[in-house]
Structure 1
Amino acid sequence: MLKKLNEHIAKNLSFLKDKRLLVACSGGLDSVVLTRAMKELNYEIGIAHCNFGLRAAESDADEAFVLDLADMLDVPVFTEQFETREYANEKKLSIQMAARALRYEWFEEILRDFKYDYLLTAHHADDALETMLINLSRGSGLRGLTGIPAVNDKIVRPLLDFSRAELLEYAKSQGFFWREDSSNKKTDYLRNALRHKVVPPYKEEVEGLLQNILKTQQHLRDSKSLIDDYLVLIHQLVVTETFEGFNIDIAKLANLPHQEALLYELLTPFGFTAWKDISELMTAQSGKFILSETHRLVKDRDKLLLTVIPSEEKIETFEIKETTLRIDQPIPLLFGEVESPGKNTELEIFIDKDKLTYPLLIRKWREGDHFYPLGMKGKKKLSKYFKDEKLSLVAKEKTWLLCSGDQIVWVIGHRADERFKVESRTRQIMNIRTSKSTS
């Protein structure tokens, strides 16, 4: 096996040569084989072990075993104990997802702080099969069926071409010791149930199953590469990047074949999974939206707006003193007095300074806000003004108001208020400018 692994790395993972490698080692069969094989092949390695504290004394014994292994191999070792259950409760995650998040965040810290080039994990062909079956059972698309990637940024998996049986045979032939995780024998989790109840009879019925699965996944990866290349063209055709995020042109998308599949591929990277709702969104009323954990998709007339979910503003109101000449946050503004007024625009207004009450305030708009649009008679609700101006939900959220007391002076980037306009009796003319349009 060692020869086969060496040839595999030389052919497919040659970038590992002369690099500093961090090996994730639980103390189980797979990671022990990977650790000892990489050491035997004379790579510069360190070991990282996570103690999730889920199996009491057994978890501590795993950690002690890995420390002894590192000492025997004379390699650096890093261990960390996690409060996994508390983290899972706090983040509302399953224990498995919490453990995954904790370990990979910690691995990244070690890579960065101790100058390791890559993280090696001991995933093998059986893991790839189990993952494929899990994703298949969840209705995954092509991305979920392509298997575990051999290389994912800084994470490398050199054992994906090897079965667990091969690793076991090699470990026994070399007289290796390893730890057995008692939780792996339980079938409470889907992966364990597949490992113990489904995969063994599957292997018995289909000769060469693992290698066939690996070939199939390579074919799927090749197909995905073709789709990715096609999506680059589709992205250029129907997607426009804006200050707010991305606009997807509904009409252009609708004229393409397989529009739902294209929309799926465009949105999957942003965490969307409610495909029926998304498909219906294309014909829904403006203002309707769907959320993923990180992004929002909004129907806005003839397009879909894709934006990051806005975080809550910790400071909702900003004060501006009379002596202030410039601010940069929350929106850039310049203040100055001039001899004569110019033309009011979306980015620049001229107002009667004597009508202002200091400090001025900058805040986001609220339901019920109204103002007197410059050049018009009477007041108008901001919600109605935004609708008439056809502002998207995202654009409305990004709009700031300049206020004097409880009166709106300027819907910044849009329109000034009639009540503060320069008149014949005006003595002091204030000019306020912004370089940032919010429309």
Structure 2
Amino acid sequence: MSTNKIGVVALTALVFSSMVGSGVFSLPQNMAAVSNGTALLIAWGITGIGILFLAFSLLYLSRQYPELDGGIYNYARAGFGELIGFCSAWGYWLCTTVGIVGYVVIAFSALGMFVDTKEHIIFGEGNTLYAVIGSSIFVWLVHGLVSRGIKEAAIVNLLATIAKIVPMVIFIIFSFIAFKLDVFQLNLFDLSLKTPVWQQVKDLMLITLWVFTGIEGAVVMSSRAKHRNDIGKATVLGVLVALIFYVMVTVLSYGIVSRAEIAGMQNPSMATILTHLIGLPGTIVITIGLIISVASSYLSWTLFATEIPYLAAKNGAFPAKFLKTNANNVPIASLWLTSVVVQISLIAVCFFNKNYTQLLLISSVMILLPYFLVSAFYLKESAQKRHAKHIFIAAVATIYALWLIYAAGVSLLLLSGTLYTLGLIIFFYSYWTHKRQSAKQ
């Protein structure tokens, strides 16, 4: 049986890899489409503070409650009861599953940049028949890798994470050399969007949330960590490194060409910008980096999606069948559930002609409740203990989580509510089944 634990470096790679997936490669265009330079800086300021305080919340919770493995689910359960705990687990599992479908879709969309022509569309936006066939093969290859052992998959992820950092470093170096202060100043005060700055900042919030989704990676895998203190260290370190990359990629882009030009670029916009700077090699470097990045992020998120139903099943929130593990100590029933749902979703994406952006929005809105519950639990516990420092950290993290819920808007919140309501069927079935089995014993 595979019982090897994951060290702090591999845990940090899981956090970083789960956050830095496909989003960073389209970030310049995504942000330029809705904001000028002023709104961009304000949004990064709010996000940087909020996400770091959320990271510190996870750090201190992992140390204060070492018995609560899997954080996202067990923090909500410990603080607010079985039903709320289930909702956190359900929302998180949906976020991870929909998110990894989006990763595969954008990976094959990137491949289309090399093989598609106007006359022959092979992969398109990652939603063609050929894309479904290719992505299905990839899904089941990752399924096989994860089934061989959690630590083995984490090591592969570490190597892939190192590989995907290289293209981002290349982009940052050439963008820094080409940066023009006068261009940045024009973008800083660009009024062509004719939208108030506060609205631009609000529009950016789900984008910035998406690129930080995965901050909880080390906490979700806490039962697999070598040392409890490694969990918090990996979380904060992963967030800091990702934040630096995100800010540099977007801010430097605003100093190369006008905001309107960036907004009109085809994604991945990092490839378009680097091609503008160094020619065709720019497209090749970024596209290969995107594919490697998406593959490693898919692996990270598959690990998370596999772990959550298993942890929830231990307390009867998910059906008992998800407690099943294989000879390598992998929650095999959870892994099968995730892979099958991803496979069905890929077919649906092709059939209904959906794209990556729509999947991104669904995934982002489903993570809002789990993040809020983590910070709210920390605030509740800190208030009871009357510890000023922890109350302050928890309060800032909670305010940030509430701001994200406000920024999501009514339509996305209604979609979220519908998906959470569907999950209640699973909860009540699991709850009564678990209760009957306990009564028999």
TM-score by length of 2: 0.21
In terms of fraction of residues, the more helix-rich structure is: 2
Higher Rg: 1
Higher relative contact order (CA 8 A, sep 6+): 2
The structure that is strand-richer by fraction is: 1
